[in-house]
């Protein structure tokens, strides 16, 4: 293909020059502008570009094919050409090759003959082609156009059909659309309805969850209700949690009773839970009652009855039940009443067993075996009761969970003292009350036995010991179970009674002293001595109960005074009074009586002896000091009396009595020597008698006073009397020496007999100090 | 009644016990009985303690091996004037803690009287533990350990020294006593079912009795065979002993 291309390209160049040269005048305008421009453009144009090449190639193919076929028929060529042409057309339809092909056409048109010649010259086919090109192309174009037309006609027809289809489809679509719309319209309400329903459902679901929450919060499940109310289900964990819940519900219900007045739901719920709770409390109550009844009897059933505290335990449920029921005090107290009843009878039975039967094998021995020893008997009974109380109390404390929560078993049960000091909380009151009731029934048998024992006491000392013991336990019980407890009161009464028995006993003993008094001895009567022996024993018992530890007495006494109204101290005063007074009375009346029947009997010495004996009894006891002081005063009085008596006795014995009497009684103006009893002769005799007396034994020892049991008093009285004698003698001497008494030889008169008128000598003889007046 | 659901949860929290034992604490006044007891029950020293009046009561649950034992402790006054009162409390005691003061010879020489009282008045199986208290006051000691130990051996009682001031060895006498009582029960010489023995079964033991033999004491049986009680006593020599009995 490339080989033929340059040739035509070079040749047209030359031919064009020729043409332009040949006919310039033929068409000057044409030659000048468009044609020449075109020519130049054509000449300037290279055919090297692909499009041109392609076009040329197509043309060549158009003919090439017919050449190759030997161009047998033009028809064939003609047939072939339009095809190639059509393809060429289609190929170069909208490019600028249009223009070129136009120019080609023009060239062919204008230069056709020349070119045909030139071209035909080398080959016939080419020439022919050149000649027919246009036609061929037209033909070809026409045929292809026809083909197009035909095809397009078909297409048109198809399109028409299609159009029809589309139209019908459209109408149908419209219809469908219309239908859809109507359906839509119709559905809309349904949809709305559905939407509403859905909303409603959602709302209801929310409400339901809310309601469920509400119900679960504000109502009890049937299971819980059953647990709370059924008689068949014993209280257990579920029961208590249900109770908690019910309580919580009631608390929460306050919300429902809001500002705008109570809501119906709130009221209903409150009513329902109230009923449930009441039933629950009822149930607890019934449970407690039945449990208490079995617990109370537990020990009896097991035939281990003597130990009252054996196996008294509170189970956790029991404790919890009690704790719950505390918010229903009336029920609790009724349940506890049931407990008290059973405990009462159990304790009573075990107490009686301990009293009469002892243990099953007789060990420990029954308490009543020691009934002959009243102290031990009563002590054992009270100790048993005390221990029973401790056990009861411990049980109650564990029942009420007192001080046990959170702490392990280390926790100690309140001791007696701590209980006393501890504040009485509500629980304490419960416990105290129940313990009181539990042990209350023990009062009966205890009282009977103690009373019997106490009443049968005749010996005051034992009665006193028993009274002390009872008093001690009365205090202990008061501190353990409180002042108002039945047992405390019973013990208080018993203690009082025993004191009364004791006082009665000593009073009776005192009264007994008054009989049988005929006895000339100067020592205290034997009955008084016996009596005082009793007092001594009582006082030493009292002392041992009081002065065992001097450093500790003070606070203890305070405590006792507080709790017993100072009974102990008052008690001893009273004892002393009761014991001493009759003794004193006995001594004094006895002295009078005896004096009356025996004038010579020495009353003063006897009384002093009695008094000093009583003093001696009280001497060792500091707490008896008041009583002793009373006695001291009495003794002092009696001593002075005796001193006086003794002084007069001595004067009488020594013969000075009349002279001394004169000294004291004479009128101031009378001279002594003129009075009868003191005339010089008389006086001289008296002085001689005195001198004789002075040499006697009586100066140092008075037989009368030697009958005093206390020698100290003997010498004291004797000395005092002698002092007075010496004073009397000195006064006598002074008077005799006085000139106005008109003694003629005063110094002779006095110096004739010992002590020669010398006081100091007399004092020496008497063994008195010189300083005496 | 069946309330097992609740019971089972709470069983271990409770102070249920296998045995209940009654102890009495005796000895001369001022030997520290109340302080010893206070130290045992409260773990603290009782300051400015006054003389006990009559008898006071406290209790504590201890664990001995597998057994829980509730001790009812009766603290008696040592003063002579309360003797007639306190004597009534020996009745039915299972154990006696006999206390003397190592700094007070008099309290030691009077022990014989106390022991005689205890033996005469308490249950025949009474277990006595002699306690030399105030072992913290070594400088004032008037009673030698060896002498007291000899006395204890002669009188067939257990012996150890304690200090209720420091708390040293304070639990030991109580546990020692409990152990001896348990051994007596095991050997059959003491029957908790009999009243007046000072021992009784607790709830826990009763429950167990229903299911198994009552005389099985678990680890306790094994230990008993290891040595005589005298060997064990050596553990309580002050200074060498650990104050925990079990």
**Chain B residues with CB-CB distance to A383 below 8 A:** 55, 85, 88-89, 91
Asked if A317 lies within 8 A of B3 by C-beta distance, the reply is: yes
A interface test, pick of B3, B10, B24 with most A CB neighbours within 10 Å: B3
Which one-letter DSSP state was computed for residue A624?
A: G
CA-nearest residue to B207 within chain A is: A311
Same domain, A132 and A250: no
Per cent of chain B over pLDDT 70 is 73
ipTM over 0.90: no
> CA-to-CA distance for A77 and A301, rounded, in angstroms?
142
Same domain, A423 and A508: yes
Q: Note the pLDDT of residue A546.
A: 62
Count A/B contacts: CB-CB distance under 8 Å: 157
The answer to whether A460 and A539 are in contact (CB under 8 A) is: no
Q: What is the mean pLDDT of chain A?
A: 74
- Picking from A103, A126, A106, the residue whose alpha carbon sits closest to that of residue A116 is A126
Q: For residue A627, tell me if it sits in a domain.
A: no
Same domain, A355 and A249: no
A478 lies within 8 A of chain B by CB: no
Q: For residue B244, tell me if it sits in a domain.
A: no
Q: For residue B192, tell me if it sits in a domain.
A: yes
Angle CA B51–B55–B60, to nearest 5: 105
**Chain B residues with CB-CB distance to A465 below 8 A:** 84
Q: Note the pLDDT of residue A437.
A: 83
Q: Note the pLDDT of residue A425.
A: 65
- Picking from B45, B41, B18, B51, the residue whose alpha carbon sits closest to that of residue B97 is B41
Q: Which of A250-259, A471-480, B163-172, B206-215 has the highest mean pLDDT?
A: B163-172
Distance from CA of B202 to the nearest CA of A (A): 5
Q: CB count, 10 Å around CB of A680? A: 17
Which one-letter DSSP state was computed for residue A456?
A: T
Supply the range of the domain harboring residue A493. 302-513
Contacts of A288 (CB under 8 A, 6+ apart): A318, A321, A322, A325, A332, A335, A338, A339
Reported as a pLDDT band with limits 50, 70 and 90, residue A654 is confident
B123 lies within 8 A of chain A by CB: yes
Report, as an integer, the average pLDDT of B106-134. Answer: 89
Asked if A316 lies within 8 A of B6 by C-beta distance, the reply is: yes
Distance from CA of B87 to the nearest CA of A (A): 8
> CA-to-CA distance for A358 and A377, rounded, in angstroms?
13
Q: For residue B120, tell me if it sits in a domain.
A: yes
Q: Note the pLDDT of residue A267.
A: 79
**Chain A residues with CB-CB distance to B74 below 8 A:** 387
Q: Note the pLDDT of residue B157.
A: 92
Q: How many domains does chain A have?
A: 4
**Chain A residues with CB-CB distance to B87 below 8 A:** 376, 379
**Chain B residues with CB-CB distance to A404 below 8 A:** 15
Encoding tokens for residue A101?
């092909």
Question: Could you tell me the sign of the dihedral formed by the alpha carbons of A30, A33, A39, A42, in that order?
Answer: negative
Q: Cis before residue A364, ω within 30 degrees of 0?
A: yes
Please report how many Cα atoms fall inside a 13 Å half-sphere around the Cα of residue A342, on the Cβ side.
20
Asked if A383 lies within 8 A of B85 by C-beta distance, the reply is: yes
Q: For residue B72, tell me if it sits in a domain.
A: yes
Q: Note the pLDDT of residue A198.
A: 93
Same domain, A318 and A268: no
Contacts of A574 (CB under 8 A, 6+ apart): A503
B159 forms beta bridges with B130
Report, as an integer, the average pLDDT of A536-545. Answer: 80
pLDDT at A426 over 80: no
Q: For residue B11, tell me if it sits in a domain.
A: no
Q: Which of B59, B196, B206 faces A306 most closely, judged by CB atoms? A: B196
**Chain B residues with CB-CB distance to A311 below 8 A:** 20, 200-203, 206
Q: For residue B211, tell me if it sits in a domain.
A: yes
Residue B195: what are its φ and ψ, rounded to 5°?
-70, 155
Reported as a pLDDT band with limits 50, 70 and 90, residue A40 is confident
pLDDT at A770 over 60: no
Same domain, A274 and A334: no
The answer to whether B182 and B232 are in contact (CB under 8 A) is: no
CATH of the domain at B33: 3.40.50.300
Same domain, A370 and A464: yes
Which one-letter DSSP state was computed for residue B98?
A: E
**Chain B residues with CB-CB distance to A556 below 8 A:** 50-51, 53
Contact map slice: B 130-169 vs A, CB within 8 A: none
A467 lies within 8 A of chain B by CB: no
**Chain B residues with CB-CB distance to A316 below 8 A:** 6-7, 10-11, 13-14
Q: For residue B9, tell me if it sits in a domain.
A: no
Contact map slice: A 636-675 vs B, CB within 8 A: none
> CA-to-CA distance for A321 and A314, rounded, in angstroms?
11
Encoding tokens for residue A67?
């050449």
Q: Note the pLDDT of residue A681.
A: 81
B74 lies within 8 A of chain A by CB: yes
The answer to whether B141 and B163 are in contact (CB under 8 A) is: no
Asked if B41 lies within 8 A of A375 by C-beta distance, the reply is: no
Supply the range of the domain harboring residue B139. 17-234
Q: For residue A499, tell me if it sits in a domain.
A: yes
Q: How many domains does chain B have?
A: 1
> CA-to-CA distance for A591 and A602, rounded, in angstroms?
9
Residue A332: what are its φ and ψ, rounded to 5°?
-60, -45
Give the 3-state secondary structure of residue A27: coil
Asked if A234 lies within 8 A of B3 by C-beta distance, the reply is: yes
Contacts of A314 (CB under 8 A, 6+ apart): A322, A395, A398, A399
Encoding tokens for residue A327?
């918010």
Asked if B89 lies within 8 A of A305 by C-beta distance, the reply is: no
Report, as an integer, the average pLDDT of A162-190. Answer: 88
Contact map slice: A 392-421 vs B, CB within 8 A: 394, 398, 404, 409-413, 415-417
Q: Which of B1, B61, B91 faces A234 most closely, judged by CB atoms? A: B1
Q: Which of A108-122, A389-403, B43-57, B204-218 has the highest mean pLDDT?
A: B43-57
- Picking from A719, A698, A711, the residue whose alpha carbon sits closest to that of residue A763 is A719
**Chain A residues with CB-CB distance to B80 below 8 A:** 544, 548
Q: For residue A215, tell me if it sits in a domain.
A: no
**Chain A residues with CB-CB distance to B201 below 8 A:** 310-311
Q: For residue B4, tell me if it sits in a domain.
A: no
Which one-letter DSSP state was computed for residue B77?
A: P
A547 lies within 8 A of chain B by CB: no
Same domain, A331 and A238: no
Same domain, A278 and A342: no
CA-nearest residue to A303 within chain B is: B193
Same domain, A76 and A152: yes
Structural domain ending residue among the three candidates A482, A513, A544: A513
Give Cα separations from A589 to A395, A516, A538, A594, A639 (angstroms): 63, 12, 25, 8, 18
Give Cα separations from B43 to A149, A544, B239 (angstroms): 126, 34, 20
Structural domain ending residue among the three candidates A125, A148, A165: A165
pLDDT at B159 over 90: yes
> CA-to-CA distance for A217 and A237, rounded, in angstroms?
19
Report, as an integer, the average pLDDT of B58-66. Answer: 85
Contacts of B51 (CB under 8 A, 6+ apart): A549, A552, A556, B29, B30, B77, B78, B79
A380 lies within 8 A of chain B by CB: yes
A238 lies within 8 A of chain B by CB: yes
Tell me which long-range contacts A442-447 makes (C-beta under 8 A, separation of at least 24).
Answer: A442/A347, A442/A348, A442/A351, A442/A385, A442/A388, A442/A487, A443/A486, A443/A487, A443/A490, A444/A348, A445/A348, A445/A351, A445/A352, A445/A355, A446/A351, A446/A381, A446/A382, A446/A385, A446/A487, A446/A490, A446/A494, A447/A490, A447/A493, A447/A494
The region of weakest confidence among A593-602, B78-87, B162-171 is A593-602
Tell me which long-range contacts A126-132 makes (C-beta under 8 A, separation of at least 24).
Answer: A126/A63, A128/A71, A128/A77, A129/A62, A129/A63, A129/A66, A132/A74, A132/A77, A132/A81
Asked if A363 lies within 8 A of B194 by C-beta distance, the reply is: yes
A240 lies within 8 A of chain B by CB: yes
Give Cα separations from A197 to A186, A191, A204, A210 (angstroms): 17, 9, 10, 19
Asked if B196 lies within 8 A of A358 by C-beta distance, the reply is: yes
B56 lies within 8 A of chain A by CB: yes
Same domain, A230 and A322: no
Contact map slice: B 170-229 vs A, CB within 8 A: 193-197, 200-203, 206
Query: Higher confidence at residue A746 or residue A139?
Result: A139
Q: Note the pLDDT of residue A7.
A: 47
pLDDT at A550 over 50: no
Q: For residue A585, tell me if it sits in a domain.
A: no
Q: Cis before residue A755, ω within 30 degrees of 0?
A: yes
* DSSP E strands, A435-536: none
Contact map slice: A 270-309 vs B, CB within 8 A: 291, 302, 304-307, 309
């Amino acid at each position: 293909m490339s080989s033929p291309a340059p040739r035509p390209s070079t040749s047209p160049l030359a031919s064009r020059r020729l043409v332009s040269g040949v006919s310039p005048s033929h068409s000057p305008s044409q030659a000048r502008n468009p044609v020449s421009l075109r020519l130049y453009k054509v000449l300037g144009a290279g055919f090297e570009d692909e499009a041109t090449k392609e076009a040329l190639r197509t043309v060549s193919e158009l003919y090439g094919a017919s050449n190759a076929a030997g161009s047998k028929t033009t028809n064939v060529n003609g047939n072939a050409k339009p095809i190639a042409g059509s393809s060429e057309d289609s190929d170069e339809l909208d490019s600028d090759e249009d223009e070129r092909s136009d120019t080609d056409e023009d060239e062919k048109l204008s230069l056709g003959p020349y070119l045909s010649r030139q071209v035909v010259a080398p080959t016939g086919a080419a020439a022919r082609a050149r000649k027919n090109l246009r036609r061929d192309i037209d033909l070809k174009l026409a045929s292809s156009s026809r083909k197009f037309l035909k095809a397009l006609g078909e297409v048109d027809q198809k399109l028409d059909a299609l159009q029809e289809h589309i139209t019908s489809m459209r109408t149908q679509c419209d219809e469908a659309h219309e239908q859809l719309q109507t359906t839509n319209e119709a559905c809309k309400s349904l949809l709305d309805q559905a939407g509403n329903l859905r909303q409603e459902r959602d709302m209801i679901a929310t409400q339901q969850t809310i309601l469920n929450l509400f119900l679960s919060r504000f109502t009890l499940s049937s299971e819980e209700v059953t647990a709370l109310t059924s008689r068949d289900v014993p209280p257990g964990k579920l029961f208590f949690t249900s109770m908690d819940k019910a309580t919580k519900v009631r608390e929460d219900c306050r919300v429902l009773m809001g500002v705008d007045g109570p809501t119906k739901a709130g009221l209903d719920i409150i009513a329902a839970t109230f009923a449930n709770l009441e039933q629950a409390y009822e149930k607890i109550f019934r449970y407690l009652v039945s449990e208490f009844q079995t617990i109370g009897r537990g020990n009896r059933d097991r035939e281990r009855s003597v130990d009252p505290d054996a196996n008294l335990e509170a189970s956790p449920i029991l404790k919890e039940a009690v704790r719950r029921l505390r918010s229903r005090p009336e029920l609790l107290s009724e349940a506890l009443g049931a407990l008290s009843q059973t405990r009462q009878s159990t304790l009573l039975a075990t107490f009686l067993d301990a009293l009469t039967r002892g243990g099953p094998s007789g060990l420990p021995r029954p308490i009543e075996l020691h009934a002959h020893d009243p102290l031990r008997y009563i002590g054992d009974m009270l100790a048993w009761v005390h221990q029973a109380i401790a056990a009861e109390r411990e049980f109650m404390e564990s029942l009420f969970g007192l001080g046990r929560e959170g702490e392990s078993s280390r926790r100690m049960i309140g001791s007696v003292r701590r209980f006393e000091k501890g504040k009485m909380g509500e629980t304490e009151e419960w416990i105290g009350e129940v313990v009181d009731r539990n042990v209350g029934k023990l009062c009966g048998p205890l009282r009977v036995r103690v009373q019997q024992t106490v009443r049968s006491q005749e010996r005051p000392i034992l009665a006193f010991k028993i009274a002390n013991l009872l008093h001690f336990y009365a205090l202990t019980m008061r501190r353990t179970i409180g002042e108002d407890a039945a047992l405390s009161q019973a013990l208080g009464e018993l203690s009082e009674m025993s004191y009364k028995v004791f006082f009665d006993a000593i009073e009776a003993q005192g009264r007994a002293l008054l009989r049988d008094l005929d006895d000339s001895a100067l020592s205290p009567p034997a009955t008084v001595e016996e009596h005082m022996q009793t007092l001594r024993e009582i006082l030493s018992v009292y002392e041992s109960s009081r002065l065992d530890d001097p450093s500790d007495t003070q606070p203890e006494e305070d405590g006792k005074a507080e709790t017993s109204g100072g009974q102990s101290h008052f008690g001893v005063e009273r004892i002393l009074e009761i014991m001493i007074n009759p003794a004193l009375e006995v001594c004094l009346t006895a002295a009078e009586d005896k004096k009356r029947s025996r004038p010579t009997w020495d009353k003063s010495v006897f009384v002093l002896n009695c008094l000093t004996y009583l003093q001696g009894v009280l001497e060792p006891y500091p707490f008896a000091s008041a009583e002793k002081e009373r006695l001291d005063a009495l003794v002092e009085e009696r001593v002075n009396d005796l001193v006086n008596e003794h002084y007069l006795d001595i004067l009488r014995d020594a013969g000075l009595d009349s002279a001394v009497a004169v000294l004291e009684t004479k009128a101031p103006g009378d001279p002594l020597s003129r009075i009868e009893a003191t005339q010089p002769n008389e006086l001289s005799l008296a002085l001689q008698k005195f001198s004789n007396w002075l040499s006697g034994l009586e100066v140092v020892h008075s037989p009368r006073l030697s009958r005093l049991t206390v020698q100290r008093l003997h010498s004291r009285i004797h000395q005092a009397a002698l002092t007075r004698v010496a004073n009397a003698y000195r006064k006598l001497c002074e008077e005799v020496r006085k000139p106005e008494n008109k003694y003629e030889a005063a110094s002779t008169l006095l110096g004739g007999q010992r002590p020669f008128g010398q006081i100091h000598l007399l004092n020496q003889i008497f063994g008195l100090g010189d300083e005496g007046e | 009644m069946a309330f097992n659901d609740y019971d089972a949860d709470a069983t271990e929290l409770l102070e249920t016990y296998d045995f209940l034992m009654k102890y009495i604490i005796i000895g001369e006044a001022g030997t520290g009985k109340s302080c010893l007891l206070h130290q045992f029950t409260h773990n603290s020293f009782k300051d400015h303690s006054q003389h006990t009046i009559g008898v006071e009561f406290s209790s504590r649950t201890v664990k001995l091996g597998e057994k829980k034992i509730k001790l009812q402790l009766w603290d008696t006054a040592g003063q002579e004037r309360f003797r007639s009162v306190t004597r009534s409390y020996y009745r039915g005691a299972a154990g006696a803690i006999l206390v003397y003061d190592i700094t007070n010879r008099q309290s030691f020489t009077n022990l014989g009287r106390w022991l005689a009282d205890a033996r005469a008045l308490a249950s025949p199986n009474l277990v006595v533990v002699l306690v030399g208290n105030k072992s913290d006051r070594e400088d004032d000691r008037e009673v030698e350990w060896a002498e007291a130990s000899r006395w204890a051996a002669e009188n067939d009682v257990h012996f150890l020294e304690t200090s209720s001031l420091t708390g040293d060895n304070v639990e030991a006498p109580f546990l020692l006593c409990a152990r001896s009582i348990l051994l007596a029960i095991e050997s059959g010489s003491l029957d908790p079912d009999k009243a007046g023995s000072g021992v009784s079964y607790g709830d826990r033991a009763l429950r167990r009795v229903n299911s198994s033999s009552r005389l099985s004491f678990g680890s306790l049986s094994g230990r008993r065979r290891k040595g005589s009680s005298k060997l064990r006593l050596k553990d309580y020599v002050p200074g060498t002993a650990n104050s925990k009995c079990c």
